[in-house]
Amino acid sequence: MSGAREEILGRIRAALADVPEAEGAADVPVPRDYRRGGAVTGKELVARFAERIRDYHADVRRVRPGDLAGAVAAVCAETDVRRLVVPPGVPDEWRPTGVELVDDHGLSPSELDAIDGALTGCAAAIAETGTLVLDGHGVCGRRLLTLIPDHHICVVRAEQIVALVSEAISRLRPAVTEQAVPVTLVSGPSASSDIELNRVEGVHGPRHLQVFILEGKSTE
């Protein structure tokens, strides 16, 4: 055994010297005094979310429900997105014209790679961190939809925006929390940096993230 490893293990043993041998992880109380709700609400909450996710290089636009399809079509024209994959849960009111829409019924990774972008909703959005929460169900679509195409267009209803991570978790479907369904948290387009902090986007997912905040009464 190397000297460094023995030193590390020795420190661990010393730190655990007064712990009873029969004590397990389940016997140790876990502090639950973290914040469970934010003080910011309403328009200020929406503005904070928009500001934070924009900091991560997302394109953020605020629209009325009746204007959404046209706004999505405009973004597709601006970004040369000609084909969009949509999960089964996306309502007709979200679907733009002038773009080829491909319904996802188990498309393969290679089929998704040939599509320019994905149009999805979200399960919740977190203002403090500028984060979209996708639970892989309904309007969120399968995880692959938001990992392979180069563009991700996500619709967020204003009432889905919460202040804190703990609030977002409480919004998830029971199936997610009870069955440990994977949840994807998205804060901006996919990005990575090398040791010199040179940022490269699109390495692990979409290079472009467009977020539409839906304000006003929505049919979805």
Position 1 scores a pLDDT of 54
The radius of gyration computed from the CA coordinates of the chain, to the nearest angstrom, equals 21
Q: Which residues of 12-43 are buried (b: 16+ CB within 10 A; e: fewer)?
A: eeeeeeeeeeeeeeeeeeeeeeeeeebebeee
pLDDT: is 12 or 192 the higher one? 12
**What would the pLDDT profile of 170-198 be if each residue is shown by its tens digit?**
888 777 777 778 899 999 887 777 777 77
Indicate the residue type of 147. Answer: L
**The pLDDT of residue 79:** 95
pLDDT tens figures, 121-137: 999 999 999 999 999 98
What is the rounded CA–CA span in Å between residue 140 and residue 213?
A: 15
Classify domain 41-214 by CATH number. 3.40.50.10420
Q: Percent of the chain, pLDDT > 70?
A: 94
- Whole-model pTM over 0.95: no
**By three-state DSSP, how is residue 160 classified?**
helix
CA distance 79 to 58: 13
Residue 160 has pLDDT above 60, yes or no: yes
